Structure 1
Amino acid sequence: MLVTRTNLTDLAYFLAIARHRNLRRAGLELGVSASAVSHALKSFEERAGVRLINRTNRSVTLTSAGKALEESVSGSFADIGSALENLDQLRASPGGKIRINAVVDAVTLVLGPVLAELSRRHPDIEVDLVSSNRIVDVVGEGFDAGVRYGGTVPEDMIAQRLSTDLRWVVAASPRYLEEHGTPAHPNELRHHRCLGVRLGDDSIYRWEFEGPDGDFDVPIKSAMTADDSRSTLAMALNGAGLTFGLEPLFAKHVADGTLRLVLTEWITTGPGFYLYYSGRRQLPAGLRALLTIAGELKPLG
C-alpha cells in the first residue's frame, strides 16, 4: 500500500483501537465517535485486503495480521508524536487539547484559578474537563491526566503534587446548631442529622477524625445524601444538617458566620491533590503549562 494521508489517518485509528481494545475508548482518544472509528477501520481493512481486528459484542482483539502491523508501526508513530510535541514546545505559546478527569473538590479549590490563568496565558490550549468523584481509568477513558487525593493515585502513574496536605472538618449553620445542639465527640454524630457524600463505588463516605489514640473513622447515617460536597454544603448553609469536607471549601462561610466548625479538637489531616498521568507517553505541552502555573499560584499552598 502507498503511504497516503488517508492511510496514515487510518493507521492512527487502528493504533488507538489496538491500545484500548475498545472502539468507544479509541474514539474518545481521537475525539470522534465510535461509529467513525468503526467506519475508518472497515475502509482500511478493505483497502488492505486483510482483516486486522476481530470484533464481537463483548470484545475487540487483534488478528495475527493486526498484531504484526501494530508491532511494525507503533514505534514509528510514537516517534512522530514525540517529534510533534517537541515542535509544540518551540512555539511562543503552546496549543493543543488536553482532557482531564478530576474529583469535584479539586476543580473548585485548585483547578478553577489555575485553568483561568492557563486560558489567559495560553489561549490556544483547549481544555476538556470532566469533574466526577467516580474513579476512572484515565488512560482507558482517553484522558491525558487525572486529579485525585494523594492516597488514591494508581501506583503505575506519575504524580505531581498540586496542593499541600488538607484538613477535614465538620461544619453546620448556626441555625442547625441552635435547634439540635453542638456535638462534643464524634460518637454523638449518630444523634444528629448528617449530610453524606456518595463515593464513586456508591458507598457513603465515612467521616474521619484524629484522637489521642490516632486516626479513626465514623460511619454516619445520612439524613440526606448527595454525589459531592458542593451539594451538601448548599444544604448545610440552609440548616439541613452537619456536613463533612475540606476546610478550604468552608473557609469563606466560616469567616462570614454562615457556617461554624464543630468537633475542632478531632480534626484530621489527609493527603492533598495530585495530578497524575501515564509515563508511557510524553507529557503534553498543555499539562506542562498547567503544572507550571499551579506551582506559581499555589491555590492551596
Structure 2
Amino acid sequence: MNDLAAFSAVANHLSFRVAADAMGVSRSALSHAIIGLEGKLGVRLFNRTTRSVSLTQAGANLLARLQPVLQDLDQALDTLSEERGTPSGTLRINANKSGARILLEDIVPRFLDLYPDVELDLVSEGRLVDIVEQGFDAGVRLLETVPRDMVAVKFGGDVRFIAVVAPSYLQGSPTPQTPHDLYAHRCIRQRLPSGKRYRWEFAKRDAEIAIDVPGNLTLDDNDLLVQAAATGRGIAYVPEHFAKPLLKSGALVTVLDDWCPLIPGLALYFPRSRHVPSPLRAFINQLKQWDGNQ
C-alpha cells in the first residue's frame, strides 16, 4: 500500500520532488519505492528524464484503476477517525501572508487545542499555486482570486487596500486628492509574486483607475512596504491590516481614503470534487464559528 500510495503521488504531481514534499519523505526514498514497485509488477510505470516525468501506458492504466480504490480507503479511514470522536491526520493549507497571519492569530491556536491529533502544515506563500497539484487540502486567498472550480468559504469580512504615508513626507509635499496626483509623488512600488509590478487600483462611485505609480523603490512584501513608508520614503499601498499598528501610533496617516473602497476579503477554498477529510471539516467549522463571533 505504501508503494501504491507513492506511485499515486508521483503520478498526480508528475514530479518526484513535489510528491516527496507532499508525502513528507525524501526524493531518494520515493524513487526507491517506485523502482521497487516496478520490479514487483514487472513493468515500467514512468518515463523519466532529467527534466520531466510522465506516465507510461501501463502507468496510466494503473492510475485509472487505483485512484478510486485509494479514495475509498481514505474515506474509510476518515470514517474510523470520526467514530473515534476526534479528527486525526495531517491538514495541509497554503495561504498568502495576510491569511496565514489571521489564521495564526485567531483560529489555529483554538483548533489545535481542540484537535491535538491533527498535525497542521500551514505554508505561507505569495504566489497562487495549484493546491491539488502541490498536495494541499485547502488554500487561503482573496475571494476574487479563488479558482472558479473550487468551493470557497469566506471569512474575516471585507478588506481594504489603503494608501499610507509618514506625516513627515507630507510636510514638504501637497496631499494627493485624486489617484492621478500620485504622478507628482514618490511612491513605494510593489513587485507581485508573478514578477510583475502591481498597478495601484482605486475606485470611487462608477470610476475605476489602475495606476503604474512612479517611484525609485520597489519591494515585494507588505510589511516592508509599511516599514519604508514609515521612514518617509514615500506613499505605499497596502492591505489595511498590515498598517494598523503604525496608523494607531501616528507613524503613518492615510491619503485618498475616498478612493479606497472595501473589497471581498479572504476565503478558504478546496476542491469541489474531492472527499473533504475530517480535519478540514473541523477546521472549516472553527473558521465559521470564529467568523460568526466577529
Give CA deviations for 1:149-196 in whole Å, capped at 9, x if unaligned: 111111222211123222221111222222434212211112222122
Candidates 200, 213, 216, aligned match of 1:220: 213
Structure 2 residue aligned with 1:295: 288
For 1:278, which of 271, 278, 284 is the aligned residue?
A: 271
Letter in 2 for 1:115: V
What percentage of aligned pairs have identical amino acids? 37
Q: Pick from 111, 115, 120: which aligns with 1:122?
A: 115
Map Cα deviations across residues 17-70 of structure 1 (whole Å, 9 max, x no partner).
222222122212211122221110001111222222221223322223223322
Which one of the candidate residues 154, 164, 167 is aligned to 1:171? 164
Letter of the 2:43 partner, please give it.
V
AA in 1 matched with 2:253: R
Q: In the alignment, is the contact (CA less than 8 A) between 1:196 and 1:226 conserved in 2?
A: yes
Given candidates 228, 252, 268, the residue that maps to 1:235 is 228
For the pair 1:43 / 2:36, whether they are aligned, the reply is yes
Calculate the TM-score normalised by the size of structure 1.
0.90
SS of alignment partner, residue 136 of structure 1: coil
Per-residue displacement from partner, 1:207-259 (whole Å, max 9, x unpaired)?
A: 12112442222211233222221111122222222111222332333233222
Q: 1:143: Cα distance to partner?
A: 1.6
* Corresponding residue number in structure 1 for 2:19: 26
Cα contact 2:75–2:277 (8 A) shared by 1: no
Per the normalisation by structure 2, the TM-score is 0.92
Residue from 151, 158, 167 that aligns with 2:151: 158
Amino acid at match of 1:59: S
1:98-122 deviation digits (Å, cap 9, x = unpaired): 2221111222234432112222222
CA RMSD, aligned part only? 2.1
SS of corresponding position for 1:127: strand
Instruction: Tell me how far 1:11 sits from its aligned partner.
Output: 0.9
For residue 109 of structure 1, what is the aligned residue in structure 2?
102
Change (3 A) 1:194 1:110: farther
| Cross-structure match for 1:186 | 179
- Opposite residue 195 of structure 2, the aligned amino acid is D
Runs of 4+ displaced beyond 4 Å? none
Name the amino acid aligned to 1:294. L
Conserved? CA contact 1:109–1:299, under 8 Å: no
CA distance in 2, matches of 1:83, 1:193: 59
Q: CA deviation at 1:267?
A: 1.5
Match of 1:59 in 2: 52
Alignment-mate amino acid for residue 84 of structure 2 = R
Q: Does structure 2 retain, via aligned residues, the 8 Å contact 1:163–1:300?
A: no
Counterparts in 2 of 1:221 and 1:116: CA distance versus 1, 3 Å: farther
